[in-house]
Amino acid sequence: MLSPKVELRTERGVLYAEFWDCLRLDPAPVKELLAKYKTASGGAGRPDLIVDFSGVTFAGSAALSGFVNLQRAVRQNGGKVVLCNLEPTVAEAFRLSRIDSLFTAVPDPEAAFTTILG
């Protein structure tokens, strides 16, 4: 049985999150990401966040609502959330939930860094 988790690290001065063992994204790793973001964003550095969805093939509505909370926390810190490597099914879930307009989605991590760093 896989144990879904999220890794948050600083890369090029930007917080970068990746999900591990998360083919089907449920609320727990998203809540974990929010907690880790709140801790990490308290230090020096940019308040922006890149979320890499590599390997995630499904995101349920409960997980998506967690991303709304995450986006709110990032915006309150003056940052933005950039999503990358979204499978079409995951991108469609964001669109059908009508929350896709809250996020910037790009094809890959390099495009995400360019979006944030210019």
Looking at residue 3, its pLDDT comes to 75
Contact present, 23 and 58 (Cβ < 8 Å): yes
What residue ranges define each of the domains in the chain, with the CATH number in brackets? 5-111 (3.30.750.24)
Looking at residue 4, its pLDDT comes to 77
Looking at residue 22, its pLDDT comes to 80
Residues forming beta bridges with residue 14, ordered by sequence position: 11
Can you tell me which residue has the tokens 């063992």?
A: 21
Closest to 54 (Cα-Cα) out of 30, 87, 6: 87
What is the block-wise mean pLDDT of the chain (118 residues), using blocks of 10 residues?
83 94 88 93 78 94 94 93 97 95 97 97
Looking at residue 21, its pLDDT comes to 81
Task: HSE, CB side, 13 Å, CA atoms: give it for residue 40.
Answer: 23
